[in-house]
Amino acid sequence: MKNLFFLILTSIALLQCGPPVEQVEEIVIQNVNILTGTSDLKIDESTTVVIRDKKIYKIGSHKPSKKATIINGADKYLMPGLTEMHAHIPVVTEGNDTLLKETLFLYLSQGITNIRGMLGDPYHLKLKKAIEQDDILSPRVYTSSPSMNGNSVPSVEAAREKVKQYKEEGYDFLKIHPGITLEVWDELEKTAKAEGIVFSGHVPVLVGIRRALSSQYGTIDHIDGFLEGLVPESAGVAKDANGFFGYNFTDIADVSMIPELVKMAKDNNVAVVPTQSLFTRWFSPKDPALMMEEPEMKYMPAQTRFTWRQNKSRMINDESYNEEQWKRFVDIRTAILKEIDKQDVIILAGSDAPQVMNVPGFSLHHEMRDMQAAGISTSKIIKSATTAPATFFSAGDQYGRIAEGLSADLILLNKNPLTNIENTSSIEAVIVRGHMIDRSEIDAKLEAIAKRNN
């Protein structure tokens, strides 16, 4: 434990060396079209936005200061920064923070100014402080606890102790993984509610989707447990024979039960992070060799690309996998997502990155396109990555919108995001807490990352 603590302090010290993130006196974006509103998004044309002291200082006519950075926003669009609600953050264990900084920049390069880390570590608590102090350029971070699963919380006593420990240490929420028994779950849920800490993530098989929903999860990620919840008791199958997120139950699922399950989510105020791109990319039958030719893949380390290719190849070449069943599986997931949209359950955009074939930053744009393919409106998709996460974190008065006094977490786009969700990736500049990264700097840093990884 002493060695681990020393490594954490050493790696954080590395992050803090050198000058803090530079801030210019004032940024003035003139004649820009801005995305405003909460329930109904709209474009306000030819407006001036002034940024000072990391915040949106003024919206409207303004005489720039002598040292202001002036940006011509004509024919461009300004929208709030995006939030990736299912991210993974590297841990620096031996002093080399290159992978960490590259990962955080990949998120930033694609307009992501907030990330929710879904596999926490003591290192991430220190990292959060470094980010808050502007010692490292990064999206704002929310972090889960370390994994709570059948091995880490094997007993009622362990569950009680871990919940209290993680709350005291300052984690933002508890991360739930498979393997937890129902008896242990009851204690975990009771203690978490008494301590005032939210739990989110997977749905353990022995807990089941209905018990999970009634427990009032903060979020259920991956739409986990829903497909298993569509299997009638008369099917007589073992709960743990479900396979990859219920894939083995594809042909016995009763889709007529979808509205009832979704209504439980709505009634219990449970938000859903679909991570649909995980299933249209990692779990798809597409040739992994072809996917490796996608431009974004060059930003991942060679060893990671090799591992991803091997992992996907093994999965789709397994005797239990076939393309037709995959199509039916994805159709059921899409039907669940459509019902979630129809019943106005809270949807939060998240892609699970870096996960197999999901490059940080880029994968959230894949996710939003998959949400569009499921029939969700562009406006609602944008809200799922901007205002909805801010509200979820009780931070709607801090970020997630373009309004005076809010944090200057913004994306300057070349195209209107409301006309097509693909336009959210047409990025001219990213502003994170008042620090601007323009297109040339984005391109230069991405090129350097690609060069190092190839």
Summarised one tens digit per residue, pLDDT across range 40-87 is 899 999 999 999 999 999 999 999 988 999 999 999 999 999 999 999
* Phi, psi of 297, deg, nearest 5: -65, -25
Quote the pLDDT of residue 1.
38
Q: What percentage of the chain has pLDDT greater than the value 90?
A: 91
Quote the pLDDT of residue 19.
47
* Pairing between β-strand 42-52 and β-strand 27-36 as defined by DSSP bridges: antiparallel
Q: pLDDT, tens digit, for every residue of 111-166?
A: 999 999 999 999 999 999 999 999 999 999 999 999 999 999 999 999 999 999 99
- Pick from 385, 393, 374: nearest CA to 417: 385
Quote the pLDDT of residue 273.
98
Is the sign of the CA dihedral 276, 278, 284, 289 positive or negative? Answer: positive
Domains of the chain listed by start with CATH number: 84-393 (3.20.20.140)
**Which DSSP string corresponds to 293-334?**
TSGGGGGS-HHHHHHHHHHHHHHHHSTT--HHHHHHHHHHHH
- CA-CA distance, 395 to 374, in Å (whole number)? 28
Q: Would residue 360 be called left, alpha or beta, if left means φ above 0 and alpha means ψ between -120 and 50 degrees?
A: beta
The alpha-helical segments, DSSP class H, found in 235-291 are: 258-267, 277, 288-291
